Chains A and B, each alone.
Chain A
Amino acid sequence: MASTDPHAIGGSYCCEQIDSALLPAEPAPLSTEQAESLWKVFAAIGRSWKNDFSRTDSAGMRSSWFEFVTLRCVQSPSYLAEYENAVEVLAELTRLYNEEIAYEKLFYGIGPIKTQPRTRLEHCKCYVVNEFIKVQIVASGFRGFGGKNRAMNYNGFVRGTRYNRIEGVREFMPPKKNRRAK
């Protein structure tokens, strides 16, 4: 059921107030279904900011993301409960609106959450969406910006197996006659 607050996003589950700390969980892997639900969030970030890698993923976006969420779950402190919460939040938002509007509200309707997250929806934004955004940017998503002047490298970006055969950064070539100052 949608919240009665006209400004609130989501229903009773999303608006439930909970402690701001990471939801406690024992380390354990994600199930396949949970992983697929979370992957949809990650892919939606790409679509929303026009960094759509769904057709080609030669940069290994999916493998970077999967390594990230796996480590987040199987090592302490485990994010498993946060990911389970995020799956439920998305399910409620999708039921109340539709899938694309759910992502629109999640990505643009909440803000950066400078203070600690206070609701299940804010937990989803803080511990899942914000972190997925960072993972996507460093795992080559930064290249989606800048058009013909896009950067070749970024803090956190790990180049692939051809790393020593392609340029690492945008380079400056000094003029030959001026390579040493007078």
Chain B
Amino acid sequence: MSEHDYILVGAGVAAATVARKLLEADRATSILILEAGPRVPERDRRGWWNYVIDGSKPYDFARDKKHEYETVGGTFWDFYDNRVMAYGGSTLHWGGWSLRLQPEDFHMHDNTGEGVNWPFDYWALHHYYHQAENQLSVCGQLSESWNSHRRDQEYPVPAFKWAAPDGEMYRAFTDLGIEPGLMPIARYRKCMMTGTCKYCPLGGRFTAQHLLDEIESDPRHKELRIACRATVRRIIADSKSKVSGVEYLDNDGNVYTASAARVVLCSGAYESPKLLMLSTSSFWPAGIGNQNDLVGRFIVSHSMLFARGHQKGNAECWLQEYDFPTIMSRTYDSPAYQREGKLFLFRNRAIPKFDFAEMMIQGRRRDEIERLLAGAREVELQGFLEEKGRFDDRLTLGEGRNQFGLPFTRVSFSRPPEVLAQAHNRLGLMQAVVERMNYTVDRQLTKVDHPGGHHTTGTCRMSHSARDGVVDPNLRVHDVDNLYICSNAVFPTGSAVNPTLTLTALSLRLADHLLGRPYQDAQQPLPQKKSKANA
């Protein structure tokens, strides 16, 4: 008999969402959440002032250190600032950008001949996306053309207003046939636009901490336990088709085992595959679910594109007023661009930036600061370029363990020349926007950057068959009855947008499955018949 109904490994948005929905159905559900990282105080005033004064945040120590990862392969894989290993996970530092995947993202192979399809289509997630947006309190506007498939699903919160510097880019976009849109952002409590999103003093931006705190403090949830500094080091397999629980360490290195009827890995795209690889046994010599050597493969993230420009004057004295971008466009995140690589565009909200305090600290007087403020101005258009996962690009275990006992990470990633060529082609388009805005392009700072691991996906991808992936359409590890993965790792394609909203939707969908409820599939709209006038 298992001690718990569920063990959830990791305490980020996936675990928080799954746990909350399970407990809503039955408050007495026994759930053990094991998080390797620590609890970081939320809305701590001294911690917030430290952030304002010197930029340090209370969770900075919970990131990967340089010696804890290795990038091999032909293209540098950037681990810097990728994730936070703590209670609440990477939502402690995320920007809150919350976009749905587009319908075509689920049919990559059908549409391009490359990559793979998701084992279900957009309509399987349509209602869960709406629930996720309500959970995260996403603000946005429905009127944009790429939202047409949302039908009547309004955003729960109205969008932020356009910032003054957006106007130039708005006009350039429309002149070039690019549709401007407002970035959907996850709020949670009332946002007062303090511009300190990375450590909000009010809890205005959603973090999984809020959700975990809510369910943990609910007196009805007597069988919920959340343990931090509890590093799971292997999953215990009872047989080829069943796991009995996990083995984990506490902060002092003491070893414990915990048993559960079901185990769900909510550990992100790095730790989920590593834990499978570490869980070797006579039943699984290469690690659980790794019989076809697919665990850790197809690793992919977004490549970053930057187009920077400058002009001589800033008569309007524009500077950063929000800490998130407002203007964006999904014009190139559409079916026509899927074969060559979709592109998601957004303005760098931190430019133009003006640091009054630094000018004063340098000893500059008032009139000099005023002159500098009205002096040169910069703009930067940024883009996420979708890349397609490849078999040879993979994540494996590094040598050594970090401060939380998690194994180091090694990534081998090589971007093919044709993808780099496509990226430069897209960069040309972005430069055209900057030039249309009457800025001079800064050639040195206009570039295709290496992939940043912030949006890593694919390392335990979904598939119908164990030959093609690690988990099935229900997120259950192939051939194992009671082991699931709920993280970005399961995405078969990375798309061109941030993954967190999709992860939250998948978490809600998984919870329905775990509860034995039918999935809330939406009806796919029928193709519209062309009228005689349009024929």
Q: Does B194 contact A (CB under 8 A)?
A: yes
Map CB proximity to A onto B302-337 as digits: 1 under 8 Å, 0 otherwise: 000000000000011111111100000001000000
Using known A-B contacts A112-B361, A130-B361, determine if residue A149 contacts B45 with beta carbons closer than 8 Å: no
Q: Does B360 contact A (CB under 8 A)?
A: yes
- Cα A179 to Cα B193 in complex, Å, equals 24
Using known A-B contacts A137-B356, A169-B193, determine if residue A112 contacts B363 with beta carbons closer than 8 Å: yes
A169-B161 in contact (CB<8A): yes
Chain A neighbourhood of B167, CB < 8 A: 172, 174
B194-A156 in contact (CB<8A): yes
Chain B neighbourhood of A119, CB < 8 A: none
- Cα A107 to Cα B317 in complex, Å, equals 25
- Cα A179 to Cα B162 in complex, Å, equals 12
Which of A12-20, A94-102, A140-148 touches B? A140-148
Which of A55-63, A83-91, A157-165 touches B? A157-165
Q: Does A21 contact B (CB under 8 A)?
A: no
Q: Does B163 contact A (CB under 8 A)?
A: yes
- Cα A149 to Cα B321 in complex, Å, equals 13
- Cα A170 to Cα B317 in complex, Å, equals 11
- Cα A141 to Cα B356 in complex, Å, equals 9
Interface of A is mostly: loop
A172-B45 in contact (CB<8A): no
**Shortest Cβ distance from A130 into B: residue:** B361
Using known A-B contacts A112-B361, A158-B201, determine if residue A134 contacts B53 with beta carbons closer than 8 Å: yes
A111-B373 in contact (CB<8A): no
B193-A159 in contact (CB<8A): yes
Chain A neighbourhood of B170, CB < 8 A: 172, 174
Chain B neighbourhood of A131, CB < 8 A: 53
Chain B neighbourhood of A157, CB < 8 A: 194-195
Interface of B is mostly: loop
User: Which of B317, B318, B362 counts the most chain A CB atoms within 10 A?
Assistant: B317
Using known A-B contacts A133-B360, A145-B373, A146-B317, determine if residue A169 contacts B52 with beta carbons closer than 8 Å: no
Residues 54-85 of A contacting B (Cβ, < 8 Å): 67-68, 71-72, 75
Residues 269-325 of B contacting A (Cβ, < 8 Å): 315-323
Chain A neighbourhood of B365, CB < 8 A: 49, 108
User: Which of A71, A75, A145, A174 counts the most chain B CB atoms within 10 A?
Assistant: A145
Map CB proximity to A onto B172-200 as digits: 1 under 8 Å, 0 otherwise: 01100111100000000010111110000
Q: In whole Å, how far is B398's beta carbon from the nearest beta carbon of chain A?
A: 34
Q: Does A30 contact B (CB under 8 A)?
A: no
Residues 112-158 of A contacting B (Cβ, < 8 Å): 112, 130-131, 133-138, 141-142, 145-147, 149-158
B363-A145 in contact (CB<8A): no
Chain A neighbourhood of B166, CB < 8 A: 172
Q: Does B257 contact A (CB under 8 A)?
A: no
- Cα A135 to Cα B144 in complex, Å, equals 40
Q: Does A171 contact B (CB under 8 A)?
A: yes
Q: A133-B361, A145-B369 are in contact. List 7 more A-B contacts (CB 8 A).
A: A107-B360, A145-B366, A146-B317, A157-B194, A168-B192, A168-B193, A181-B177
Which A residues lie at the B interface, using CB under 8 A? Answer: 45, 49-50, 67-68, 71-72, 75, 107-112, 130-131, 133-138, 141-142, 145-147, 149-159, 163-164, 167-174, 178-182
